[in-house]
């Protein structure tokens, strides 16, 4: 049997996902590794197109048929057995059992998990009856309880609404209730607040955190916004072009960012109490195309600390602190701290 760290519920190891299209091969995820300790929260952060959603869909095996997946996704079952999700049939019994009941997802767009033609009550009670063996009446009571828990006012009445009758924020809450209906152990939230305005964002993030405590969930929070993870997660992995370039405890990453890309992301967060006229510094350049695999460091072209060696060979993962790792040529063991640019 495969081994995992004793506190780990999910271990993604060297995950690679390619899409084989007529136009060429898209290298969407290129050797991503991260672990989720049981009951803790992990943030996956990176610009649009860096492979966050494809990584999440790999965990739930919801990728289109054009995708080829390799590497390991180890999941610790309730009984303690370890299942390698990459070896399961996407539509097979084991995967259908894990998807939803063990690992549940919420999305930016609630309508990707709510059906527009069914009442909230029917959608949620179906999930509950199917997975928890309750009667219809018991399931309805549980649905109302869940809707109350996620902060939907007058839940006894709203339960008979169709999704379109709810406001955007309420729909987001109903989707979270839907994800929790099957009592999962892992929740993956993929940009859950990106489509919401700022005040609603904070409410929904707080709700996710409360639900994490209430249900003792292990959480993977995916976002392009480094600012969002600051108060939400214990650990963070920073992704660039299908790779994790830096990872560590969130406090450590904020206090002591090492990778030039992470530093760039920090500088591009607008400060609430910034001085007037102080500029937010965007990272120059664009994310390169995922059609061609880079020869050197993926960030090399945009990097202010670029050196000759950066164009040759993918940088190895180097430990730079307790649980803190960085993939950057500039941090080789024994070379000391490099000159810091833009920090």
Ligand X SMILES: Nc1ncnc2c1ncn2[C@@H]1O[C@H](COP(=O)(O)OP(=O)(O)O)[C@@H](O)[C@H]1O
- Considering only 52-60, 119-127, 134-142, 212-220, which stretch makes contact with ligand X by CB under 6 A? 52-60
Q: How far apart are CA 29 and CA 45, in angstroms?
A: 14
Of 181, 188, 176, the closest CA to residue 221 belongs to 188
Strands annotated E in 89-241: 103-106, 186-190, 218-223, 235-240
In this structure, the strands spanning 243-249 and 82-84 are unpaired
Among the listed residues 231, 207, 220, the one whose alpha carbon sits nearest the alpha carbon of residue 57: 220
Q: How many residues bind ligand X (CB under 6 A)?
A: 15
Residue window 46-65: x/- pattern of binding to Mg ion, with contact defined by CB under 5 A: ------xx------------
Q: Is the dihedral of CA 321, 323, 326, 327 positive or negative?
A: positive
Q: Would you state the structure tokens that stand for residue 297, as one six-digit string?
A: 């460091």
Comparing CB distances to ligand X, the nearer of 246 and 252 is 246
- Single out the residue of 2, 14, 24, 48 in contact with ligand X (rule: CB under 6 A): 48
Distance, CA of 38 to CA of 76 (rounded, Å) = 9
52 binds ligand X (CB under 6 A): yes
**CB under 5 to 8 A by kind: which of Mg ion, ligand X, none does 28 bind?**
ligand X
Among 35, 53, 123, 212, binds ligand X (CB under 6 A): 53
Stretch that binds ligand X, among 18-26, 72-80, 293-301, 316-324 (CB under 6 A): 18-26
Q: Is 23 in the site for ligand X (CB under 6 A)?
A: no
Between 4 and 63, name the residue whose CB sits nearer to ligand X.
63
Residue 212 in the binding site for Mg ion (CB under 5 A): no
DSSP letter at 25?
A: E
Residue of 10, 15, 26, 328 that binds ligand X (CB under 6 A): 26
Copy the structure tokens of residue 119: 């009442």
Instruction: Determine contact, residues 217/252, Cβ cutoff 8 Å.
Output: no
CB nearer to ligand X: give 26 or 106: 26
Q: Which stretch binds ligand X (CB under 6 A): 44-52, 132-140, 164-172, 327-335?
A: 44-52
Comparing C-alpha atoms, which of 309, 310, 331, 329 is closest to residue 320? 331
Give the single-character DSSP code of 126. Answer: H
Determine the Cα–Cα distance for residues 208 and 192; give it in Å rounded to an integer. 9
Per-position x/- string for 65-104, each x denoting binding to ligand X as judged by CB under 6 A, each - no binding: -x--------------------------------------
The nearer residue to ligand X, 290 or 300, going by C-beta atoms, is: 290
DSSP state of 160: T
From residue 66 to residue 85, the character string flagging contacts with Mg ion as x (rule: CB under 5 A) and all else as - is --------------------
- Quote the CA–CA distance of 327 and 122 in Å, as a whole number: 48
- 54 forms part of the interface with ligand X (CB under 6 A): yes
User: Residues interacting with ligand X, by CB under 6 A?
Assistant: 19, 21, 26, 28, 46, 48-54, 64, 66, 290
Binding footprint of Mg ion on the chain (CB under 5 A):
52-53
């Amino acid at each position: 049997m495969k081994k995992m760290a004793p506190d780990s519920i999910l271990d993604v190891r060297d995950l690679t996902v390619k899409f084989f299209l007529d136009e060429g091969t898209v290298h969407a995820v290129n050797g991503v590794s991260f672990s989720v300790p049981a009951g803790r929260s992990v943030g996956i952060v990176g610009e649009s197109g860096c492979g966050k959603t494809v990584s999440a869909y790999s965990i739930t095996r919801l990728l289109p048929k054009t995708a080829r997946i390799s590497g390991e996704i180890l999941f610790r079952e309730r009984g303690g057995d370890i299942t390698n999700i990459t070896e399961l049939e996407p539509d097979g019994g084991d995967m259908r059992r894990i998807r939803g009941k063990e690992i549940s997802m919420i999305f930016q767009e609630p309508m990707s998990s709510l059906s527009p033609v069914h009442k909230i009550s029917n959608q949620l009670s179906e999930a509950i009856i199917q997975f928890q063996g309750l009667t219809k009446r018991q399931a309805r009571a549980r649905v109302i309880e869940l809707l109350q828990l996620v902060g939907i006012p007058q839940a006894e009445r709203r339960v008979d609404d169709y999704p379109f009758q709810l406001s955007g924020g309420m729909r987001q809450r109903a989707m979270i209730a839907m994800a929790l209906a099957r009592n999962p152990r892992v929740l993956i939230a993929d940009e859950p607040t990106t489509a919401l305005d700022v005040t609603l964002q904070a409410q929904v993030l707080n709700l996710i955190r409360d639900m994490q405590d209430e249900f003792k969930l292990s959480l993977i929070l995916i976002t392009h916004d480094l600012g969002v993870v600051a108060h939400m997660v214990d650990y963070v992995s920073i992704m660039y072009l299908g790779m994790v370039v830096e990872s560590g405890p969130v406090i450590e990453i904020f206090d002591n960012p090492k990778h030039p890309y992470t530093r760039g992301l920090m500088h591009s967060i607008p400060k609430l109490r910034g001085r007037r006229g102080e500029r937010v510094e965007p990272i120059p350049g664009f994310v390169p195309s995922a059609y061609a695999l880079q020869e050197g460091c993926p960030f090399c072209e945009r990097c202010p600390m670029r050196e000759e060696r950066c164009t040759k060979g993918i940088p190895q993962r180097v430990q730079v602190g307790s649980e803190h790792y960085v993939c950057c040529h500039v941090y080789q063991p024994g070379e000391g701290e490099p000159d810091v640019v833009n920090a």
